[in-house]
A and B are shown apart, each in its own frame.
Chain A
């Protein structure tokens, strides 16, 4: 069969959601931020809530998320997205409000805001893209950088004795009674993307039901910061990031798993 016979509107089974704008993404080739954006917008589209959803972009590579997500958005000072989202949600309790944050933003400078928004049980969704590094500023060590992992500020590898342990923010906030759904996902394979999308759906449904804070970590690559090509970076992530940051649900229906 001729390709032209197949590529026709009536045979279309997948295309980029209209809730992503046509602006070319500012991300490096193969960076997971793009996939994380797209599945978030697919969930908003499938729930039919695009006119009632407000996103809060962070400081980090995804600072321009408002240019890419075709919904109402704002952008917060570094690490303050959960505080800004709290204000928006309390002003408009019927809106769906989410933050989209990197690990430097959420776990370093914004650690305090994150903990307290989670502890207050704000009815918001937090999407946390953990690539173990400050991607935007040139690959400095983050709280999430792995033991022995090289970064521009740990050129000989992260030394636990002097630089401390990688921070498992997701396990930490799962202990707080204000969080209702807490999970860790990834977007490097088709199966992982489909699972991560289901988790984001549960997170937004949690907000609809006003059950408390829903937190979705996405372990992702920063192939530029890690100085690898995109496919190698995804493989390195599987071998090195996943053992320390294991994928799966951590808290479901307000109950810790295990």
Chain B
């Protein structure tokens, strides 16, 4: 079976650290960073990148549209 590996890219300076993307992720990939961006927001990042399946859930609920999602199929 082909394995799906995903990754997200967060536009850190535009992320508002709202955290709405966190419960939307089925594999608990995302957390808010301890550091802040230029606006003072704790931005979202992939804490468990290996768990991302590229499902786009996080990007779909992000009010600010700052998440891009990438996905590759790996033949085992």
Contacts and interface: CB of A to CB of B under 8 A. Distances in A.
A and B interact: yes
Contacts of B23: 231
Interface in A68-126: none
B19 A16 contact: no
B49 A3 contact: yes
A67 to B, nearest CB: 14
A193 B55 CA distance: 14
B12 interface: no
A234 B20 contact: yes
Query: Which of B41, B46, B68 is most buried by chain A, counting CB atoms within 10 A of its CB?
Result: B68
A179 B71 CA distance: 42
Contacts of A20: 65
Interface size class of A (residues with CB under 8 A): 35 or more
B74 to A, nearest CB: 7
Interface in B21-76: 22-24, 41, 46, 49, 54-57, 59-72, 74
B19 A11 contact: no
B6 to A, nearest CB: 7
Interface stretch (A133-141, A158-166, A183-191, A249-257): A183-191
Interface stretch (A33-41, A55-63, A206-214): A33-41
Contact of A230 (B18, B49, B60): B18
Contact of B24 (A5, A16, A38, A189): A189
Given A14-B56, A14-B59, A187-B61, A6 B7 contact: yes
Contacts of B66: 16
A69 to B, nearest CB: 12
Contacts of B55: 190
A12 interface: yes
A231 B20 CA distance: 6
Given A35-B61, A35-B63, A29 B16 contact: yes
Nearest to A17: B65
A132 interface: no
Contacts of A193: 60-61
B20 A230 contact: yes
A48 interface: no
A150 B62 CA distance: 27
B61 A190 contact: yes
A31 B71 CA distance: 28
Contacts of A231: 18-20, 22-23
Contacts of A38: 65
B16 A12 contact: no
Contact of B70 (A6, A27, A30, A32): A6
Given A24-B14, A230-B18, A234-B20, A14 B68 contact: yes
Given A1-B5, A35-B61, 14 more contacts: A1-B74, A3-B49, A6-B6, A13-B54, A15-B59, A20-B65, A30-B19, A38-B65, A188-B20, A188-B61, A193-B60, A193-B61, A230-B18, A231-B18
Interface of A: 1, 3, 5-8, 11-17, 20, 24-25, 27-35, 38, 187-190, 193-194, 229-231, 234
Question: Lowest 4 CB-CB distances: which A-B pairs, in order?
Answer: A30-B18, A34-B63, A29-B16, A16-B65
